[in-house]
Amino acid sequence: GAVVSQHPSRVICKSGTSVKIECRSLDFQATTMFWYRQFPKQSLMLMATSNEGSKATYEQGVEKDKFLINHASLTLSTLTVTSAHPEDSSFYICSARGVGDNPNTEAFFGQGTRLTVV
């Protein structure tokens, strides 16, 4: 299947700093990328949907000024956690869908990023 690469896989940062997470589609053009957050022993919760060249659509309760999403090209979306705090510690995972994908086809996931804010 198609490959989505997410980097870094693990990051520890100090409270108050910003962290950037990259999500790349390696062998296909991703018109839409999704960012999910997963707390320990819980399910994936959609944070936002990003479409190449346009502003991201955030889910209710997700602060767009805190979680900045940029989808500058058809192969790259970034999530920046600004002024991170310990409560932002979580597992973040992206998924991507390709150009012309049938709505009922697989979404490909990155490997996820485990963020720890100390």
Partner 1 sequence: AQKITQTQPGMFVQEKEAVTLDCTYDTSDQSYGLFWYKQPSSGEMIFLIYQGSYDEQNATEGRYSLNFQKARKSANLVISASQLGDSAMYFCAMREGRGSGANNLFFGTGTRLTVIP
What residue ranges bind partner 1 (CB under 8 A)? Answer: 1, 32, 34, 38, 42-46, 49, 51, 57, 91, 93, 95, 97, 103-112, 114
Question: Are 38 and 28 in contact, with CB atoms under 8 Å apart?
Answer: no
Q: Least distance (Å) from partner 1 to the CB of residue 18?
A: 22
Q: Least distance (Å) from partner 1 to the CB of residue 88?
A: 17
User: CB-based contacts of 54: which residues, under 8 Å, 6+ apart?
Assistant: 71
CB closer to partner 1, 55 vs 83: 55
Distance CA 110, CA 81 (A): 17
Tokens of 110: 């990155």
CB closer to partner 1, 82 vs 114: 114
